[in-house]
């Protein structure tokens, strides 16, 4: 994705960090919203909030790795 000015990869462009942060927040909110229905329902209802929570953690980890890659490039 470089355009000849030596900036390199998409991580250095600065798009990954804010998008991954927003996705992490979105999935954390969705996990919280679906948790109320899971508590009042069947035990199999816990799958959705747990999945949203895990995806939120993965997106947060991606954000951390992208920030570290940006700091190394600078």
Tell whether 17 is covered by a domain.
yes
Report the domain count for the chain. Answer: 1
Distance CA 72, CA 59 (A): 20
The predicted-structure confidence for 4-62, as pLDDT tens digits, reads as follows: 555 555 545 678 888 989 999 999 999 999 998 888 888 888 999 999 999 999 999 99
Helix, strand, or coil here: 27?
helix
| Predicted pLDDT at 9 | 57
What is the residue range of 23's domain? Answer: 13-42
| Predicted pLDDT at 74 | 66
Tell whether 19 is covered by a domain.
yes
| Predicted pLDDT at 7 | 54
Tell whether 68 is covered by a domain.
no
Distance CA 25, CA 27 (A): 6
What's the pTM? 0.72
Distance CA 43, CA 47 (A): 8
Tell whether 50 is covered by a domain.
no
Tell whether 58 is covered by a domain.
no
């Amino acid at each position: 994705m470089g355009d000849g000015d030596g900036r390199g990869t998409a991580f250095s462009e600065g798009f990954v960090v804010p998008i991954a942060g927003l996705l992490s927040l979105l999935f954390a909110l969705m996990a919280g919203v679906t948790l109320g229905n899971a508590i009042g329902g069947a035990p199999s209802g816990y799958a959705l909030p747990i999945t949203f929570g895990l995806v939120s953690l993965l997106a947060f980890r991606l954000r951390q790795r992208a920030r570290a890659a940006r700091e190394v490039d600078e």
